[in-house]
Amino acid sequence: MKTTRVLSVLLLVALSLPTLAQQSRSFHVAQIAPYDKAVPGQIMQLLVEDIDGGASPLMLPAEDFKLTVSQDGVSQDAKIRTVNAILRSNPYTRSDANVDRPAEARGNQMHAYQSVNFVVPAGLHTGAAELTLTYRGERGNPITLTIVEKPLRPVVGSVAVMTINAGLIPPPGTRMQGNDFGWRLERGQTARLSINPLADPDDPNSAVVVRFKQGDTYYDAQTRVTNEPLRVENRNRGVGFFPARDILEVDVPAALTMGPADVEIHLRANGQDGDAVTLKATIADSARSAEAPALNASRLLMVAPTRIGAGQSMMLSVDYRRTLDPDPSKTVIVIEQGSARYIVPVERSSLKFGPKVADAPVLFFVRTTKQIIGKAQVRIFNQLRGEQTGMSEPVAIEILEDPLPPDLIDLNESTQEELAPLREMSRLQASQGRTFPKYDMHSKFATIRARGVDYNPNFVRITIEQEGHRFTLGPGDFSSYSGELLIVRLPKEIKSGPATLMIQNRAVDAFSAEVSKRFVVCCVY
């Protein structure tokens, strides 16, 4: 029997800048995903690397790509639907493929790709077909797709986790058991499920088929693949970019009852039905949450970090926005220790800039205080539903009296590739008649790779020392912050030559220990 692979789903949130970069002149088609076998009418992925020249992921227009499919000497163009940047956990990346040690020793790493999503064209027969991708006139390496008689089992994703750092995502095993991926679906409502591959919505012979089973009764669900076009949102601190993507929408049957259900999912393509994946799900009904409070309450899928100093920030990812209804803005965070409890105000959340759909995850940023020190627990509290139906299960944390310092991994003067996102942001802002003070082509910049840096620049102190002179950066000097990479603008007084950078986190009334690293300033822009 073929095993079902799991697609680990995450949403990354850029706090200040999108992950854009300047295009390189070379690229490599690494693989076809989710597998290299398909049927005409399926939407498959080409995972492409090195377009960005090693810099941050890009947002590239689908019009810049062309895909040719050849079989038996006959070539035809495949329809490219979307192109977007993704992160995948791989046993090893292409850059260390020749390292003389086993893959198990290298461990899993998050690797950035451009996902070129295309429709397998009609008219292909079973057997090998060669795919050749062209980007702005440059041809990539050919790759083989095997055409099969019927679709393979789909790859199904767990509940999404929203974060600004993929390294903080908990392992899938901590959120899934067996074929229970943590789905809680609202009956009578539309859910967005992560299924790969999808089916071409323009092909009447292709579809994603979903049906539910409770007891001996089956309930067929209406499904559709919809496309969200690329959109740009102006914000006070910059511009938010949302790439085009295809989404599977499933209308959860209203006749289902609250409680467990089996969900059967299979793919139909070229008029052929594939084998089904069967998962367990929980059917919820927020209008009757009092009857099953635990089933309908919010869940914390990620709390990071779980060990922090008083006054430092935490990120909390909630599974579904709908569990915060009727007014998500009234959500608060509760810290508990024994019988002691206090409410932490939300410092920032994705409610303002994240997806507004009911099944979207929500990210909260909160800051602890000195009211509770030591082992404690944190919960999400929907005040409008009351404690019985609005309180999540607790997650254990530890609050220290003194703030923890960042873990400074690496430091260098920013390269042209690392500055490409800032240049692109500046260009896009200018095209909309706006200035972009985060980037000045005449300034020098430093790239900091560190863990545990407070997401809020007002709670970080960076000092640079050179030839006996010390310069402290302000929040306006933080040009880009995403994940474990921070780009800061250097003071104009900094000259070419060696310098030392010191970084600290700020807490309630003190700074953490100072961590430092030397680097060399050499470039003039």
The CATH number of the domain where 411 resides is what? 2.60.40
Please tell me the distance from the alpha carbon of residue 47 to that of residue 140, in angstroms, as a whole number.
12
Please tell me whether residues 212 and 344 are part of one structural domain: no
459 and 515 both lie in a single domain? yes
209 and 255, same structural domain? yes
Same domain, 101 and 230: yes
Six token digits for residue 68: 């040719």
Residue 78: pLDDT band with limits 50, 70, 90: very high
* Residue 27 in domain: yes
> Are residues 331 and 236 part of one domain?
no
Distance CA 182, CA 40 (A): 31
Number of domains in the chain: 3
Structure tokens at 151: 């679709």
With cut-offs at 50, 70 and 90, classify the pLDDT of residue 440.
confident
End-of-domain residue from the set 339, 366, 400: 400
- Which stretch, 67-81, 160-174, 468-482, has highest mean pLDDT? 67-81
**What CATH number should be reported for the domain holding residue 42?**
2.60.40.10
Residues 265 and 257: their CA atoms lie apart, in Å, by 19
Question: pLDDT confidence of 358, banded at 50, 70, 90?
Answer: confident
Range(s) of the domain holding residue 503: 407-521
7 contacts 35 by C-beta, under 8 angstroms: no
In tens, the pLDDT along 201-235 reads: 999 999 999 999 999 999 999 999 999 887 666 66
117: nearest Cα among 75, 60, 168, 174: 60
Q: Within this chain, do residues 243 and 378 fall inside the same structural domain, yes or no?
A: no
Same domain, 184 and 329: no
**3-class secondary-structure state, position 448:** strand
Contacts of 115 by beta carbon, 8 Å cutoff, 6+ apart: 33, 45, 46, 47, 48, 82, 83, 84, 85, 86
Torsion of CA 279, 282, 283, 284, to 10 degrees: -150
On whether residue 307 sits in a domain, the answer given is no
Residue 293 burial (CB < 10 Å; 0-12/13-18/19+)?
Answer: middle
Where do the DSSP E strands lie in 140-179?
143-147, 155-157, 161-163
188/331 same-domain check: no
- Model confidence band, residue 86 (pLDDT cutoffs 50, 70, 90): confident
Structure tokens at 154: 């789909």
Q: What is the pLDDT of residue 484?
A: 83
Of the candidates 66, 56, 55, 63, the residue with the CA atom closest to the CA atom of residue 29: 66
Same domain for 52 and 73? yes
pLDDT of residue 229: 83
Is 294 part of a structural domain of the chain?
no
Regarding whether 127 and 208 lie in a shared domain, the answer is yes
Q: Is the pLDDT at 292 greater than 60, yes or no?
A: yes
Identify residue 386 by its one-letter amino acid code: G
Q: Is 362 helix (H, G, I), strand (E, B) or coil?
A: strand
Residue where a domain stops, chosen among 268, 284, 300: 284
**Distances, alpha carbon 389 to alpha carbons 290, 336, 361, in Å:** 6, 18, 19
- Per the structure block, which two tokens stand in for 247? 């989404």
Omega prior to 142 cis, within 30 of 0 = no
Q: What is the pLDDT of residue 419?
A: 83
Query: Which run of H or E residues covers position 426?
Result: helix 416-431
Query: Residue 189 — pLDDT band, cuts 50, 70, 90?
Result: very high
Band the pLDDT of 481: cuts 50, 70, 90: confident
Tokens of 48: 């492409």
Domain boundary (400, 432, 452) is at 400
Proportion of the chain above pLDDT 70, given as a percent: 82
Q: Rounded distance, CA 515 to CA 407, Å?
A: 8
Q: Over 50: is that where the pLDDT of 507 sits?
A: yes
The string of DSSP codes covering 277-313 is EEEEEEEE-GGGGGGSHHHHS--EEEEE-SEEETT-E
| Rounded Cα distance, 312 and 406, in Å | 11
Domain-embedded: residue 312: no
Task: Give the pTM.
Answer: 0.81
3-state secondary structure of 464: strand
Nearest to 310 by CA among 407, 405, 403: 403
| Residue among 182, 194, 118 at smallest CA distance from 155 | 194
Asked whether residue 381 is assigned to any structural domain, the reply reads yes
- Is residue 55 pLDDT above 50, yes or no? no
Given a cut of 60, whether residue 117 has pLDDT beyond it is: yes
> Residue 200: pLDDT above 90?
yes
* Order of all β-strands in the sheet with 6-7: 6-7, 155-157, 195-196
Kindly report the average pLDDT of the chain as a whole number.
84
- Domain membership of residue 299 (yes or no) is no
Rounded Cα distance between 379 and 343, Å, is 10
Indicate whether 437 and 382 sit together in one domain: no
CB 21 within 8 A of CB 386: no
Task: With H, G, I as helix, E, B as strand and everything else as coil, classify residue 27.
Answer: coil
CB atoms within 10 A of CB 187: 21
Structure tokens of 130? 């060669």
In a domain, 301, yes or no: no
454 in a structural domain? yes
477 and 396 share one domain:
no
